[in-house]
Each structure stands twice: as structure tokens, then as C-alpha cells.
Structure 1
């Protein structure tokens, strides 16, 4: 027997099918009614909304926000499609006449959306502002804050905001809707009372997203100043605290063709107390940046690029930089640094940095720049660099000090108001070791300085070969001590301004292109001859020592003795090293006195220029033999 029975699920769904069409019809009806009302309001709005009321409302809103008086000269333009919007022209914002009538700025045109419902009720509520060619003038006070004069809505909110943990808290009475603000082709002048300077920005374009005064804010600003385009990105959950100079969370970045920089963390626009976060900065062309900023420091050309990335934290009397990555002319270092305040309003930069490879010349230049900074005023505090003390330690696996290469280097820079020292405390140099000390005299550092260098056990033969030096030079492992000084500023001193002494000592080695046997043969035949004509053999020696005194652009050789197994070469005289000239007297004689008859004393004069001087033998006067008694 068959039965006709519907499934249970069909019975349960039957009621839904009955009421679903009704819901659809109701929703459709509501949408139609809303559309009719929307269109009706847009059609009727021009007839029922007062242009004067909207204009007056935006005047009041501007006055309320700025604390100044808004004056609108141009005729307003109203649009109602697709959204109600008003555009005002020729706007001036200034103090009331009884308060000085000071002009805050002008705006060519201002557009804003407004609430149609509120307008129909006789009130004006605005949002989504667009400012075309605003020209504003602001003042930055001694504390670093923008002077929000006359306590408008914004100023009251800034004053009334307080901090609760990491968030800003604002009384409801002070809160207000802001919305999106766009700026096109603006001009901004900021007068800084602390420096008595006015900064001019033109072509200002900005996009600001700030739903309410109590909410977070993000902004992008593009402007041009002194011929350079800048882009600033800023965001904070607590913008009112930021504008009030309090320490709070913020992010900011600056980008241009000359410099990029960013900060993220806790910070303040007025002071460094409580600072904590991460900073980074990159300068691709330091001379160009200084030229753009109107600064001029002699010798800066070698300090081409600079970058830093670091965690930063406020410390006692200064800042602490951890996890530092520092770049200088392509060299990279890691370490820690700190900046602290010392007596007499001076700042001190200290730290320890470790390089893999580095070029020491920029550090020498930076050292000289630090000293030269006060040259123009001839006082120790003549410039910002002069007011910065240094105490830096750094190491490097490889270091270039043209034309030399060092390895496993430990060095330091110490500069204060009365001393300036650069030390290489330890380094490997050509198979030996090298120590160096550079010091500037006290005062304003323009009284001169000194250089001391000590080399032990270095392979001078390898150095001569690598540098491709010409002429008869010692190929040996030896030690050298150099002690120089000058009375002129280090950054202006030339070779002719240097005095001092050099000593050199070596064991076994040879002098290339010095054939003593050929010299004796040529001396017996010629009154003078070039060194190159005396053969190309080397002169092996067992011991060599040299002392040279530097003065007035010349080196005076004394106590030069190169002892070979058979003969000994001695030299003395003057080398004007600025002209590569030579004026030396020398001699060859037997190392062993028992061979004096076989190898008699041969004096000679060396003149001409390096590396192929001329040798002129000097006749030896023979003393008459004593007569027999």
C-alpha cells in the first residue's frame, strides 16, 4: 500500500516560505521611501537651506577652532550632489581688532562637507575639509611648542588632554569631530623664538586623517624649503599629548634627496626626557647637505656618506644608543654610544664601535674638522662642533690609512675643550706592529700639534714593492720611530711647516739598485756619473741605521750607516723633500779594518734628484809618509 507523505523538513520550511515575500516587500518599500526622501532633500535643499546660515556656520567653526576671527570675503558656493558641500573663497584668520588684529593666515578657498539634516534644523556641522593655497604663519616658542594663541577649540583640547598610561584622555566637552583634512599648494612660515630664525615652506601638500580630537591621527606632508623637497610622515595614537610637548608614543619619518630619518617609540617634540625607541638616519652626500643648510666646514669633502640605526634611551644627563649600526663612507660598524651633558653646557659623545673594514682618512678629517670648527671665531666655543667633546674607542679587522693597510686595530679619539688626541694603541702593520699618536695643542687648537709613530718588526721590503716605490731603498725587516710637530693648525700645515726626527734600524737586508763595486769602478774612471750607470746589482747588508731631522721643508740626514759584510756605506747631508732634490756626502770603506788597503776609503758627493741622482767622487788627499830618523 502506498502513501503520499511530505518529508518532515518540508513541513518545517513551509512557514518560512509564507513570510519571506512579505519581508522582501517591506525592505524594498523602505529602500524606495529612503531613496525618495534622499532625492527630495537634494532637490529641495537649495530652496530650504540658507547659504548665509552655512557661511556663518563655517565662519563660527573656524573661529572656534583657531581662537582667531575668521573673515570671508568671497561668495560661497553650495553643492548638494552627491553630498552637501560648501566652498568659501578669500578667507582671512586674524586676531580680533581689540587684541591686535594679528593675521594668522589666509586661505584662497576652503571646501567642507556639511550635514544636511543639521542644516535643515538651523545648525551647521562640517567635516572633510579641503584647503587650497593656505598661507599660514606660526610661532614656535622657547620651549619648542607651537603658540596656539587665544585658546581655540584645538588649543583647549591640547591643554585639557592628560595622560593615562600610554593613552590620552580628553573631557567630552572638549572633544569634537575633525575628519579628513587635505591641503593643496600651501605656504607655511614658522618663526622659532629660540633661534630667532624663520623657516619658510612652500608648495605644501598635506593629507591628515583625524576622526576626532580624542582619537589617533596620521598625516603626510610634502613641502619645499630652500630648494629641497621634503616629505614628512607622522602618526600617533595621542596627537594632543604630542602637540602639548608631553612624552608619548609617536612615529615620524623624514625623506628627501639629501637625508632620510625616522623615529618610532616614546618621544616629545620639546625635550629628550623619557625618550625611548628606535632611530635611523641616512645622509648620502654630507657636503651637499651642509651646503643646503648654509653651513661650510673645510675639508668635509672626504666625509661623503653617513648612516646610523640604533635603539635610543634617555639616560642620566643624556642619551644612550644601543645596538648601533653606523655607516661611514661605505664602512659599517656596530657598538654602543652615548651623548651626555658636561660642565659649561658642553656635550660629550662617547662609545665603542667595532668595524670589519674602514678607511681611517675620514676619521682623521673628522678629527681635524672638530678642531677647525672654531677657527673663524678663534675661540674654543666657536662652533657647534667645538662645543662637542669626544671620547670614542673603536676597533677594526682591516683599516686603510693610505698608502698603508693595518689589521687588528684598536684606536681612540679624545677631544675636549683643552685637549685633542687620536691614538692607534695597537695594530698589525706589514708583518709587525704600529702605534701612533696625534695630538693638537691646547687653547683653540690652532697653535699646532704633534704626531708620533712607532713601527716594530715591519717588512719594509714588501711595503716598497707594494707601493711600487722607485730608487735605491732598503728591502728589509726593521723598526721606525717618527716624531713630528708643527706650530700651525693641523688642518693647514704643509710639509714645510713640520719639524721633528725620524730614526730607522734594521737587521739583514739589501738595497736595490745599489752596486758598490760598480760605484768604485765608475769613480776611478769618471768625475761624475748617474747612479743608474753604476750597475743594477743590490747591496746586501747586515745592519742599517738612519737618523733624519726635519725642518724648513728639508730632511737633514745624520748618522746614516749601512753595514755590509765587505763594505760599509755612510751618508749625511740635506734632502729638500718638497723638490725631490739631494745634497749628500757619502763614503764607502771596508767593514773590516784589515781590508782597508784592498778597499780604501771612497768619499763622494750625491746631487741631482731622486730616484736617479748623480754621484761625484771626491779625491782623497794622501798624507806624506813620516821621514825616517
Structure 2
């Protein structure tokens, strides 16, 4: 027979089983009658500070987890019955404590929002934030934390922070809607993620992903003291944003008060600077994927000003260092600073401010809307730089943008064996954009300049100076060049004239009939120097003087060269000295000296007296032979048509 001790154990186990069965049976009763009906909506409202309404009949699940499923849940502002809900969800699943339910209490351990819609609206500094609640446990906890921060702003006492438990909030397939002046639009779609915050005085984290401005974006943030941040105190935090157009991360300290500040290390990268600026709505038109950029820098500042110190920048695979200052205190953001590169691609930088070609073969259009979005004062220096095929060294450049004006200048650079200055200026006027371009070069090597510019015909190879100034209206580089006014001049010293076989050229002009310049381009002509002067009006260059000298030979051109159509309409000539005068047929030779025969032998005085007197010698001639011609066709396929060969003053 079992001992009394064994019987007591059997009875204890039996009672425990009966209690468990009764609890399992009783929980649905309490859940359906006391928690769901009387307490869940109230508890959600007590936490959030918003009025909570629940449509439909809640469903209670006991296994494998005690959970209430609610449908048609909305959170609204208590003070405005007509305002749209702050949050509404198609379904809300709440994980509850079964033991608390038996006591008639509600304890949330987790909340899942299915297809929620969050509404945000403009707040201070232009940010879009959800409306603030008028009360609730979270709001009261933040107010209590503010008092703790106010008592000791530099080092708040974390022990005095609220200790209420919070749990986790998960959301799936949600949307964020901006409500501005009664109109609503989607800001984020496909929103999923989680807020994990065990208690208000412990660490917390946020993970979220969704579609923002047409791109898939993921965000992660965490802090050991999120309550301090919400209360306006300083605390460490990290945040990262990842998207195809750009990646951004920050790790450091900061606060989220009215005069928030942050101090830490930031990183930014984008496969295309142009695309990233457009995606971030910085006033840059969309375009080709050019100008990759990455930035790593110490960052400090507040909502009025941000400083980037010891910045390491890589623009289109060109590393550099510098310091930047971003200010929001004026009407438009102001970016200023200095950057130094070992090598930089200037074309990639300017590519951020041009749009795709309007038509095939057209030069890029010019987008100047960026001047309405920010002001810029940037100074650049580079040991080496490229601008397309042009190689530069020891570059000093500036970029300035302010309302109505944008200027990009290379104030000094070594190139082509000499020095150059170049710049482009945009005057943004109500009647249209005026663009001015200039190129000044001194002591440059003509051969290097011609190679970089792709000018292979009739280019002098000596050392020279060059000036080109253009100014005109237009919205694309093509339209500016087609309507520009300005001037061009160049002088070159001794060297060669490329792609010209002068004997072959003269032979073809004597034969008559037009011919392609390429047919006589298999040679070079040594020259003593060359000079060009041209005026430009409405996109048409009028060549006033184009001359090259080779010994006693002079080559000249004049006429017009329009940019539109790339045509040629030039007159030219080649002037050569005449050959020494030959005796006319039948003329007598000049007499020998008296007493000397033509063969040098002595003659008698009688023979000398019988010789007829010599003719009067003609004065030396200064006349030369000139072959004139007309040059037509196009820039790429010029043709020559001989006119006449004449005698002219040399």
C-alpha cells in the first residue's frame, strides 16, 4: 500500500493538472469578456495617448501563443474628431500574458501591425513627422525624462528614467502618407520592420525597409538610451540608410531637441553623384550614371549648420581631402569649403549639372535649376586633372553658385607645355540664361593643343598664345554656340603646319578642278610663324586674318565658318616669289670688258669698237606668283576649288 507521502504527491500533481485545465478553459472566457471587450482598446490608448477604436469581433488564440487578433484598428487625435486617423491598420495581432489575463490585467509583450497606414505632417524645420499625442504613458515618460535632463543637461541621471516595459512593435506591408493642406500622397510604400524596446530605460533599435521615391530603402538605428534622445538629452546612437542611389551612415552622439546637435563619424557613398542629388531632390535634373562619389568625414553641427572636418572624398575614383561647411541659416542652403585632390576629373564634376542630349548628336543640355536650390562657394586644387582628353597640372579652380549666377573657373593650370585659364559663367535672367565661356592660353605647344582638341588639319605646331571668348543665350551647349558672339585669336612661332603637302597642293591648283583637302594632306610644311584673328557673331566666325609664312611663301585664308551645319566658306591664296628673270629668246649676251674676249682672251681695240652697245638692264621685280582658291565643304570633309594663278606684289 502506498505511503501517505506518495498519496500527497499524487494529490498535488492532480490538483496542478486540474488548475491548468481550468485555466486553459477560463482564459478564453476572461479574454473574450474582460480583456477584449473592456481592456485592450483602453490599454492601447493609455500607452499611445490617442483615441483607439476597434471594428469587428476580436479573435482569441490560446496555442501556441496567447494572442488577440483585432481588425479595423484606428488611432485618432482626441482633440480633433474630423482629422484623419494618425494610424490605421487592417489587422493588429497582440501577444498577451495569459497569467495577467487571468488577473484581469492586460500586458502586451508584442504587437504586429498588418497593412498599417501612418500619417505624417509638416513640423518644425520642414520635417514631416506624425502628430504628437496629447497624453499617454509614453508622452508622460518623455516629459519625466525631460525633467531629468533639465536637472543635469551635461550628464543626466539615467537611474531616474522611467522603467515601464514596452516590448516590440512589428509592422508589415504598410504605408506612410503625407497629409499637407488636406491633400495626401504616398511617401513610403511596402513598409516593413520592427521597433524592439524592452523597457523605456534600456536600449532600443529600429529596422525598417520600404520603397521611397521609387527606390528600395532599408534603415537601421539603435541607441543605448533612446529615451534620453526623445527627451532632448545627449546620447550615443547609430543610424544607417541603404538604397541603390546612395548609402549613408552615422555613428556618434547627439540629441533630438529643438536645437539638436550631433557629433560623430559619417559616411556617404553613391554610384552616381548626379543620380543621388536628383533622388534627394537637391535640384539636379536626372541624367546618365556619371560621377561616383564617396565621403568619410568627422561631422558636427545642428539644424542650422553642419561642419565636415578631415573629410576624405573620392569623386569618380579621384581621392581628395578637405573641409566643408553646410549652413541653413539663410534662405537657401550654403555649401562652402576647400577640397584638394591629387587627381580629379573635372568633366565628371560638371556632368552633374547637365542633362541627357536632347537629340542624337546634340551636345548636352544645361540644367540651371540647381541655382534655385542652394548656394555654393567651393575652392578646388589638384596636382593633376583631366577635362576630357585634356591633361592639366597644378590646378586652382573655384565653383560659385548663388541666386541668379553660377560661375566655374580654372584660375590657373599648367597644360600643353604652358599655362591656361578657363571658365564658364551662367547669368540666370528672367528673359533667359546668358552663358559666357573663355579660354586663355599662353606659351602652349601647338602640337599638344591640336592633338587634345582633335584638330589635325593645318594646325601650327610651334609655341603660341590663344584666346577664345564666347557669350550667348541658350539652354544647351549647341544653342549657345549657334548664337554666340565673341572673338578668337592666336599667334604661333616657328614650327610646322600639319597635314599639308604644299607641292602637291600647288600642282592640283594648276591642274584645275576641285579636290579634297585630304588628297594633299600627306606632308608637313615648315613655317616661321602663324597668326589668326576672327570675330564671332550669332554663331558665325568671320576669319579676318589667317596667315602662315614659310620663308618667302605666304599662305592666307579669309571668310566665314558657321557653327550650325559645320560648313566652310573661305577664300585663300598661296603667294610665292617669282624665279630670277631669264634672257629673252634671241637676245645678245652682255659684252665683255674692253680688251677681253668672251672666252677670256685679249682682243684688239678694233674688235671692241665694233661690238654693238648693250641694252639698258630692267629694274629687279618685287612681283610674286599667287595661286588663289576657294575652300568649301564641311569641317570634316573640306574641298578646294582653284580660282586663278596671278602675279601680285610679294
TM norm structure 1: 0.80
The yes-or-no answer on 1:103 pairing with 2:91 is no
The yes-or-no answer on 1:282 pairing with 2:306 is no
CA offset at residue 392 of structure 1? 0.6
The yes-or-no answer on 1:44 pairing with 2:22 is yes
CA offset at residue 187 of structure 1? 3.4
The yes-or-no answer on 1:616 pairing with 2:603 is no
Partner Cα distance (2:445, 2:345) in 1: 22
Q: What is residue 452 of structure 1 aligned with on the other side?
A: 438
Query: Could you say what secondary structure the match of 1:44 adopts?
Result: helix
The yes-or-no answer on 1:159 pairing with 2:143 is yes
Query: Could you say what secondary structure the match of 1:473 adopts?
Result: coil
CA offset at residue 548 of structure 1? 1.7
Partner Cα distance (2:301, 2:202) in 1: 27
Residues 283 and 426 (structure 1), Cα distance of their counterparts in 2 relative to 1, 3 Å cut: same
Q: What is residue 224 of structure 1 aligned with on the other side?
A: 211
Which residue of the other structure, out of 175, 189, 192, is the alignment partner of 1:187? 175
How many residue pairs were aligned?
581
Q: What is residue 424 of structure 1 aligned with on the other side?
A: 410
Tell me if structure 1 keeps the 8 A contact 2:268–2:294: yes
Residues 240 and 618 (structure 1), Cα distance of their counterparts in 2 relative to 1, 3 Å cut: same
Query: Could you say what secondary structure the match of 2:288 adopts?
Result: helix
* Structure 2 unmatched runs, 5+: 356-367, 582-619
Tell me if structure 1 keeps the 8 A contact 2:412–2:420: yes
Answer with 1 or 2: which has the greater Rg: 2
Partner Cα distance (1:118, 1:198) in 2: 41
Partner Cα distance (1:220, 1:411) in 2: 43
Q: What is residue 251 of structure 1 aligned with on the other side?
A: 238
CA offset at residue 119 of structure 1? 3.4
CA offset at residue 250 of structure 1? 2.2
Partner Cα distance (2:428, 2:278) in 1: 30
Residues 451 and 35 (structure 1), Cα distance of their counterparts in 2 relative to 1, 3 Å cut: farther
Query: Could you say what secondary structure the match of 2:42 adopts?
Result: helix
Partner Cα distance (1:197, 1:61) in 2: 30
Greater than 6 Å deviation, 4+ residue runs: 31-38, 290-296, 591-596
TM norm structure 2: 0.77
Which residue of the other structure, out of 621, 626, 638, is the alignment partner of 1:602? 626
Q: What is residue 48 of structure 2 aligned with on the other side?
A: 66
Q: What is residue 242 of structure 1 aligned with on the other side?
A: 229
Residues 566 and 140 (structure 1), Cα distance of their counterparts in 2 relative to 1, 3 Å cut: closer
Q: CA RMSD in A?
A: 4.0
Q: What is residue 439 of structure 1 aligned with on the other side?
A: 425
Tell me if structure 1 keeps the 8 A contact 2:283–2:373: no
Tell me if structure 2 keeps the 8 A contact 1:161–1:170: no
Matches within 5 A, 1:455-466: 455-465=441-451
The yes-or-no answer on 1:513 pairing with 2:499 is yes
The yes-or-no answer on 1:471 pairing with 2:457 is yes
Query: Could you say what secondary structure the match of 1:103 adopts?
Result: coil
* Structure 1 unmatched runs, 5+: 1-25, 370-381, 624-629
Q: Deviations over 1:336-390 (max 9, x none)?
A: 11112465x2332111112233322233344568xxxxxxxxxxxx966424221
CA offset at residue 34 of structure 1? 10
Tell me if structure 2 keeps the 8 A contact 1:565–1:591: no
Residues 550 and 197 (structure 1), Cα distance of their counterparts in 2 relative to 1, 3 Å cut: farther
Q: Deviations over 1:57-77 (max 9, x none)?
A: 322211211223333444444
CA offset at residue 604 of structure 1? 0.5
